[in-house]
Structure 1
């Protein structure tokens, strides 16, 4: 494995992640296409107070991405659009991106939440300390943030 770096993006160029969009679509995931569509339309630029978009790079190739948005209240952030290229899974890259998201979220929110339908995704988020939230169609997991 090469040196992996995590960077906070100021501007997303959709062609830089087109391989991730194509790969995720083949897997049956739509969230990477939504990321590009929402970014290009200006619906979600990850540019509000407390928002951020992070990428993981192996040399110059983007191999993963994940973001943080404001949720419905100012005290809650929402993890969005986490995706790691198939060839790089099970190497800790998702955890690296999530650690950056969590540290960013601690500066702005009391809690972060997310929605995943994937059992593997649920297991991953629980390994990071997230709790399962039952009975909410929009939120499957949440994490209370320690500001200390």
Structure 2
């Protein structure tokens, strides 16, 4: 997380946060971040960033649980969440978790509405 180390992005604005998940040996096994979205045309949009689960810990529910925590936290600050991914595996993961695919949006491939209809 070069942006964090350099101070360019320290996740300290309202509604921002950085998560780390540690394993039994106190090793970092997953990370994720939430920022105010700088690309959205709408206000109150959060961006899921730097979502990563170590390969050996995938398909164990860690990513799903972490994403649910992000969504729960974001409900207090945002109307929707967006993200950008370019891998098929990640696209399927997000879609299974309720994110909808978005087309023709700059730096956005998926969106999740936090507003109840």
TM-score w.r.t. structure 2 length?
Answer: 0.91
1:53 is matched with which residue? 18
Secondary structure (helix, strand or coil) at the match of 2:78 reads coil
For residue 64 of structure 1, the aligned residue among 15, 30, 33 is 30
Listed as ranges, the matches of 1:7-26 within 5 Å are none
Separation in structure 2 between the aligned mates of residue 79 and residue 101 of structure 1, nearest angstrom? 8
Q: CA deviation at 1:46?
A: 1.0
Query: Does the residue aligned with 1:102 lie in a helix, a strand or coil?
Result: helix
The runs of 5 or more residues in structure 2 that have no matched partner are none
Aligned residues: 113
Unaligned runs of 5+ in 1: 1-35
Deviation string for 1:109-147 (max 9, x for gaps)?
Answer: 000000000111000000111000011230000000046
RMSD, aligned α-carbons? 1.5
Moved over 6 A (4+): none
Partner of 2:77: 108
* Structure richer in helix, relative to its length: 1
